[in-house]
Amino acid sequence: MGAQIAAHVANAGVPVLLLDIDAKTAREGLNRARRLKPDPFFTADTAALIETGGFDTHLARLSSCDWIVEAVVERLDVKRDLLARVDAHRAAGATISSNTSGIPLAAIAEGRSDNFRRCWVGAHFFNPPRYLKLLEIIPTAETNSAVVARLGDFADHFLGKGVVVARDTPNFIANRIGLYGLMRIFDVLASGRYTIEEIDAITGPALGRPKSATFRTVDITGVDIVGHVADNLVERLADETERRAFEVPALVRDMIARGWLGEKSGQGFYKRDRKPDGSSEIFTLDPASMTYRERQSPKLPELEAARSITNVGERVRALFAGRGRVGEFLRETLAPTLLYTTVVAPSIASSIDDVDHAMQWGFGWELGPFETCDAIGFPEGHGRFREHPLPPAGPELQILRTARETSRIVRANAAASLVDLGDGVLAVDLHSKMNVIGADVVQMLQAGVEEAERNFAALLVGTEAANFSAGANLMLLLLEAEEGNWDEIDLMVRTFQQTTASLRYAQVPVMVCPAGLALGGGCELALHAARVQAAAETYIGLVEVGVGLIPAGGGTTAMLARATEHLTPEQQRNLINVVKPVFETMALGKVSTSGPDARRLGYLSEADGITMNRDRLMADAKRTALALAADGYHPPARWTNIRVGGDDVRAALTIGIHLAWRAGQATDHDAVIARALAGILAGGALPHATTVDETYLLDLEREAFLRLCGEAKTRDRIRYTLKTGKTLRN
């Protein structure tokens, strides 16, 4: 955990000193972190910001550190002993924190100097630190308020964390409430009335919770970790009744004794068995017999009926009130959890806002406990917090939502809206399912440029949905291709090319703000922005080859133009060395693993910005857009002299394609697509190197796209992806 925290601080560009018992152990810990999946680092190079050392030789180096994070074993004596040694070397004003998940902070700091205790605070990261947004900051009665404010600000802006301030109580906010709810689910499981699969079906996306639901989450976390956290609460809580509510169930004790700890031991509530053909099959634990059986599909009509309810609050209310087994389960588990939350909230948090955010950011709940109370009309509601309404969100947080809620919508259709963000900035707010790019989105993008040029200083394109865009509307494309409506497809592609060009050549700065998935056409929007402001967790890529196509919304043209824009004479003579990486990025459908990784792949430029805290993305973009406008923004010159290599580059790329095909690394249709892409990047049927303009390359893009749409194997790929969400290698 310490190495992963170090990795994420390094992701923010901050140098880190990682210490362990000795330098060798610290290096091994860092190397283990580098092998983890999902990767704790934004890029492989980020690890260079971390220096390793040992407590035995490097403690004196702490005198130059601004923030010291203790993340050693959860034993009070070990922590106290180490921090006594740390106190002798730390700078007087340095913040020092513990990542403890439950040991009282005041107890850890006993015996330390006055200055230490004023700078001492809990900073509880959730695992994995890069991906889970929650950071619980826990001050003691002696902690200087400026330390809390400074650490919270750094965690918010630089680490991208959602910060809640918790009281110094056992297991703080999220684990206290989350574990109570889990224990109530264990109670129902022990009754034998519900299977593990049924409970996971109820407690996953149907409630606005992660797909891993209950038991898959426990397997990922570790059955032993659940037991440890529960034991900690039983040991530290004062009330006997409350302690009994957290007693570890016999089933969990038995699983820990057997070593069935979840994913790390290969079996927990679920077990994956490999078949002789290399595939795998998942089995489920039968708690009654303590054996594994084949998975059963849950049959819960209430869940099926609720699928059509898109609003999560309305769906939870309907399920909770249902007369069937789902409603019965929720009234036995969710109801007591909500009641418990209303009772303990004042003692563990300062506001209902912090309680809701802790569960949303730490456990992935769409609705926090108090929001759930409101949704289902839970009578106890806000309890002792009733007189303290939720404070308004900060002025820089989720500004799209704020603008919508204050009725600043200029124009809208089913897929997108034009929203006035104030200060002369207009936004195209994408809000369709996965923000697939179809006619409605294109219409609003075009309208956004026109409206911004008339009445605004800048235009942003973004969303507060989980994903920026999954790409083009493949269903519509497939229908047109199946009918042989080539003129319609040609018009669709021309219109999208014109739309991306309008973003690039608008008279006001257009900033595209990707976060989450930004694939295919979504990536092409970013490639044509005056500037991109990307969330750190942006997974961007031109992935059209996966559905048998090539990027034709100006993406291929933009990637080549950007790569060849400032070539040295040596690079012009060896153009294949410049073009080949561009070809491989698109031919392999490479997707960035982060915003910084998108720079490495050429999807983002060095001038583009990256925002660590997703909630601040649009505000950061707005600030940059206004600065560009104030500097007297002028659109870039059109790409009129794009360097292409002609037959030499085409031949070199084609040889590589043939060798990959011969080696079994590319299928027949992969080779067809790759040759089409190579033809565009070479500049078409040109006998020698020369320069061409963007219109010429856009025509090549469109022609290749149409040809590939006519291929039966391309249509098979599109059909397969629409059906399964996966890629067909045919």
Where do the structural domains in the chain lie, given as residue ranges?
A: 2-165, 174-385, 399-721
User: Tokens standing for 339?
Assistant: 């009641």
pLDDT average, residue stretch 225-234? 94
d(CA 584, CA 600): 13
* Rounded Cα gap, residues 527 and 348, in angstroms: 46
Q: Structure tokens of 49?
A: 């910001």
Supply the angle between the helices 174-191 and 325-348 in degrees, to the nearest 10: 150
Both tokens of 408, joined, read: 């600043």
Q: pLDDT tens digit string along 232-242?
A: 999 999 999 99
The Cα 63–Cα 86 span in angstroms is: 9
d(CA 174, CA 145): 22
The yes-or-no verdict on residue 4 having pLDDT over 60 is: yes
Parallel/antiparallel/unpaired status of strands 425-430 and 458-462: parallel
For the stretch 72-118, pLDDT in tens is 998 999 999 999 999 999 999 999 999 998 889 999 999 999 999 99
Given a cut of 50, whether residue 390 has pLDDT beyond it is: no
Q: What is the pLDDT of residues 317-352, one digit of tens each?
A: 999 999 999 999 999 999 999 999 999 999 999 899
Instruction: Report the chain's mean pLDDT, rounded to a whole number.
Output: 95
Give yes or no for a contact between 129 and 11, defined as CB atoms under 8 angstroms apart: no
Closest by CA position to 21, among listed 56, 52, 51, 50: 56
How sure is the predictor about 398, in pLDDT bands with cuts at 50, 70 and 90? confident
Interatomic CA distance for residues 104 and 138, integer angstroms: 10
Q: What is the rounded CA–CA span in Å between residue 20 and residue 48?
A: 18
Give the whole-number percent of the chain exceeding pLDDT 90.
94
Please give the CATH topology (third level) of the domain spanning 2-165: Rossmann fold (3.40.50)
Residue 532 near residue 609, CB atoms below 8 Å: yes
Inter-residue contact 714 to 669 (CB < 8 Å): yes
174-385, CATH topology level:
N-(1-d-carboxylethyl)-l-norvaline Dehydrogenase; domain 2 (1.10.1040)
Concatenating the DSSP letter of every residue in 140-201 gives: -TTS-HHHHHHHHHHHHHTT--EEEEB-SSTTTTHHHHHHHHHHHHHHHHHHTSS-HHHHHH
pLDDT at 406: 85
pLDDT band at 184 (very low <50, low <70, confident <90, very high): very high
The single residue listed with the structure tokens 């049959």 is 299
- pTM (two decimals): 0.92
Rounded CA separation 364/132 (Å)? 8
What is the length of the chain? 730
Helix axes 486-504, 474-482, angle to 10 degrees: 150
Residues 192-209: b if buried by 16+ CB within 10 A, e if exposed: eebbbbbbbbbbbebbbb
Torsions phi, psi for 154 (to 5 deg)? -65, -45
Q: Please tell me the distance from the alpha carbon of residue 174 to that of residue 577, in angstroms, as a whole number.
A: 52
Region of 646 on the Ramachandran plot (φ > 0 left; ψ -120 to 50 alpha; else beta): left
pLDDT tens-place string over residues 506-541: 999 999 999 999 999 999 999 999 999 999 999 999
Check if CATH label 1.10.260.40 holds for domain 399-721: no
In the block, tokens 């956290």 appear at 229
Q: 207: which 2 tokens?
A: 């409630």
- The half-sphere exposure of 160 on its side-chain side, counting CA atoms within 13 A, is 26
For residue 138, give the 3-state DSSP assignment: strand
Q: What is the pLDDT of residue 388?
A: 41
pLDDT tens digits, residue range 120-170? 999 999 989 999 999 999 999 999 999 999 999 999 999 999 999 999 999
pLDDT at 280: 81
With cut-offs at 50, 70 and 90, classify the pLDDT of residue 382.
low
Question: For residue range 284-319, what is the model confidence (pLDDT) as tens digits?
Answer: 999 999 999 999 999 999 999 999 999 999 999 999
Asked if 258 and 252 count as a contact pair (C-beta separation under 8 A), the reply is no
pLDDT band at residue 378 under the 50/70/90 scheme? confident
Parallel/antiparallel/unpaired status of strands 95-98 and 67-70: parallel
Percent of the chain having pLDDT more than 70? Answer: 98
Enumerate the β-bridge partners of residue 98.
70, 122
Encoding tokens for residue 156? 């918010």
Spatial separation of the C-alpha atoms in residues 355 and 213, rounded to whole Å:
20
CA dihedral 43, 38, 617, 546 (to 10 degrees): 90
